Each structure stands twice: as structure tokens, then as C-alpha cells.
Structure 1
Amino acid sequence: MIEIENLTKRFGAVQALQGVSFGVSAGRIVGFLGPNGAGKSTCLRILTGLVRADAGSATIDGRPYGELEVPGRSVGVLLGTESFHPGRTGRECLRLAALTQGLPAARVDEVLDEVGLGRAEASRRVGEYSLGMRQRLGVAQALLGDPSALVLDEPTNGLDPQGQRWLSTLLHERAERGCAVLLSSHQLHDVARLAHRVVMIGGGRVLQDVAVAEVADLEELYFGLTEGIDRGRVQLGGVR
């Protein structure tokens, strides 16, 4: 469903990605784990057509993002919540997104219900939202087209424990329906809780690609792999 093949990208003197390859099959959740600056966001931005790779390919259902007829109906994307206009209400933001995808207005209320934003919250301006509420709105926008794949960058940011439990339930339900889910994080515990498989990245390279159930101590494996690349910065639960 999602295929990353030998992605390479340099920004000036910085080698952001070095031959990154991995895939996400239908019905699976893959965690893309690495410290800040490891290359996660660059990889996702290439996958979603925002950055051009120097070499390699990134496809969704066999096609680059730019060749998808209505991208939102194939892949739902959350790469941050800064794009929401702070003066618009949450419902207005989703209605505009639905219009661009040719979706009925009723779909907006469906996804608002799915992410737990009620009528009062949806009627507030996004500028008044907490980070957790903006994350829920971002997930709602990603779900609008009922896509067969999801690409989510740091989706647990700003979520309280209840919100984290909600997100876990939502993503596993989507995976059970055949959705391929790729989520990035620098938080080891988030990935361990959410993912079926983990792709660990550091210094722009894939360090390990392993099923969570097959690893006795994911924390020990991750820290052992990243220590030599980013010595002193990685700690339990994130990056100093």
C-alpha cells in the first residue's frame, strides 16, 4: 500500500535521507521512530509530494502522491495543524476540505463525531483550540475522504491520556478495516503502544525494521541503535 524505496535527500551540506526503504501493508500500523532531526518528516513530506527526492521513490497504492486523482480519498495526511486558519471554526475548515474533495457536507459531521469534537467545539474558532483539539481536527480532516491509507506526523502531540487512548482505538479500528497506517514519532512509548511494526531511523538511515511483538525489549533495542549516532541526546520517552 505504502512503499518507500531507496529515498535519498540532501539539503545543502546536510544529508537528510540515505537510501531509506520500507513499506506499510494494508491493515497494519507502522511506527516511524527516531529522534528529532533523524529524517522522519523529510521522508513523509516526500511521500506526500511536498518535497522532491534526489533519488528513490515513494508511492501510495503504486502511484506517487502527485498522480493520485483525488489524493484525500486515497491517503489521509496529518503533517501538522498550522495550516488551519485560526479565524475559521473547526467545522468551516472541514467543510472547505470536503469541497475540494467533492465530498458531501454530511461527511463533515461524521468525522467530527469520529474524533470526538462536539457541536460546541466544532463551532469555535481554531485559534481558540488547545493543541489536543487541533490534533483531533487534523485527524478529522485526514479521515474525510475515508482513505485506504493514513500518514500521520507526531499525531499524539498535545493529547492527554484520554486522547491518546482515543487515538489508539481509532487507528486500530481503521487498521482492522484494511487501512495502512504510517505514523511518525520521537516518543518510544507512543510507537510501542500503537504500532504493529517499528521502523527505526537515525542519521537519515533505517537502523531497524522489526515487529513489535518480536522484540523482548524495544527500549533497549532503540537506545542501543541510536546511541552511537546521537550519543547523549536520546532518553526515555523522547529527546532532551
Structure 2
Amino acid sequence: MITFDHVTKRYGATLALDDVSFEVPASSITGFLGPNGAGKTTAMRILLGHTRSSGRATIDGQQYAGISNPAGTVGALLDAQAVHPGRTGAETLAIAAAMIGVHRRRIGEVLDLAGLSVAESRRTVKGYSLGMRQRLGIAQALLGAPRALVLDEPANGLDPQGIRAIRDLLRAVADDGCAVLLSSHLLHEVAQLADRVVIIGRGRILDDTPVDHSTTQDLESRYFALTSTDDRSAA
């Protein structure tokens, strides 16, 4: 389970997160929605120990710094561009596997899960499209078979076929017991994938509700109504 418990973060005079609290249960997918600058990435960085805050952000009851086996507990993709461009995809995964103590056979498994072919994995990352980099980042996040996944815009740069493949992968991972938190601006995809949606605006949680998979209209209407009201109140 992923838990945010009264998390507040300031950058000088800017209140980036304002008393944020919500949960992502095991075996579920939570879509984290909000406009640019709403606080989504800041919240994820706090959860992963990259940024300090007041309040607590935990995975299975522990803050990231106290987790003895981080790679087996949480996998993350925050920036698909943060990969050495001169290495191949396979080399990138081999280095990551060695660092976390995972057998090299896991590399082939995660490449298959993420939809990267062996031939693609032998190419240098500088020749990858954004979608291929996203797939590589997802493969790396899965290396340790984590109990939680934190993904920032995982469908960015993917074509419709790739989006569907990642959607099927995340559903399977969640059904196997993983807690999945993903940010996205693709409301249609979130409506088809997520079990719950948390909407954030200007650092505040505006809504936390189950998703009706039968239609995206209610989700879209609620999202735009909440974020538009939040913008007006902050003006």
C-alpha cells in the first residue's frame, strides 16, 4: 500500500503540496490527475525520498529511506529521458540489475513485459523514440518485481497499440498484488485503467473517488469542473 498522510511541501513562499492525504491499496491502480504544476511530480518525488516534506509518505508503512530492499518494494519511472544515451537498452538494464542484485535472466523477462524486442534492446538509447524510452523505463521499474509502482506519465510518446499494451501490463501487475500510482493527462486512458482517481490542483486534493469504467464523460466533467473552480479560487 502507498500512503500519503498530511504531506505538505513548500518551496520558499510557494506551497507546492497542501496537506495531501490519500492511499493506493495493494492490487489496485490509482490515477493521479491534475494540471501542469498541480503537485503530482512533487508528491511522487517525496514518496521516493528525493524531496523532504512535512507529513509522511510511505510504502507498506515505511518511508523510502527506511526500506531495506527498495527495488523489491517500489519501482519508479519519473523521467524517461534520464538514461545514458550512449548505452544500449540491454546495458542499461544489466547495470541496474547488477546494482540491485537481480539475476540477468530477469532482463529478458522485463523487456518482454514492456514490449521491447531483443533487437531494440541492442540499440543505443540515443536512437530510441520517446515511446521506446518509456518502455525501457517501465522495464527498469519492474526489474525487482516490486510490490508498488510509481509512474509519471507512462503512456507519454506511445502510439495507441503501445498504450493498450502498457494498460494491459499494469492491469496484470495490479491483479498480481501490486499497488500502482500513475500520473497522466490522458483522461480516457485513466478511465479505462484506474480503479480510483485522485484529482489534485494547486497542491490540494480536490477529489478521491472510484472510477466508473463504463464511461469517461463523468470523469472528464468532474475533472474540468474541479480544476477550473480551483483556478478561479486561486486567482
Alignment TM class, shorter chain as reference: over 0.9
1:211 is aligned to: 210
Within 5 Å, which residues of 2 pair with 1:216-227?
Answer: 217-227=218-228
Q: Which one-letter code corresponds to 1:28 in the other structure?
A: S
Report if aligned partners of 2:77, 2:154 keep a CA contact under 8 Å in 1.
Answer: yes
Distance 1:170 1:208 in 2: 26
1:234 is aligned to: none
Residue 88 of structure 1 aligns to a residue in which SS?
A: coil
Within 5 Å, which residues of 2 pair with 1:3-152?
Answer: 3-53=3-53, 55-152=54-151
Distance 2:174 2:185 in 1: 22
CA drift at 1:141: 0.2
Distance 2:186 2:231 in 1: 15
Residue 29 of structure 1 aligns to a residue in which SS?
A: strand
Report if aligned partners of 2:191, 2:212 keep a CA contact under 8 Å in 1.
Answer: no
TM-score normalized with structure 2 length: 0.95
Distance 1:103 1:121 in 2: 21
TM-score normalized with structure 1 length: 0.93
Q: Which one-letter code corresponds to 2:108 in the other structure?
A: D
Q: Deviations over 1:11-31 (max 9, x none)?
A: 112110000000011100000
How many residues are aligned here? 230
Structure 2: unaligned runs, 5 residues or longer: none
Q: Deviations over 1:164-208 (max 9, x none)?
A: 000110011111111110001123223212211000000100000
1:238 is aligned to: none
Residue 123 of structure 2 aligns to a residue in which SS?
A: coil
CA drift at 1:3: 0.5
Structure 1: unaligned runs, 5 residues or longer: 232-240
CA drift at 1:126: 0.4
Residue 168 of structure 2 aligns to a residue in which SS?
A: helix
CA drift at 1:115: 1.1
* Stretches of 4+ aligned residues off by more than 6 angstroms: none
Residue 181 of structure 2 aligns to a residue in which SS?
A: strand
Distance 2:128 2:64 in 1: 30
1:228 is aligned to: 229
RMSD: 1.3
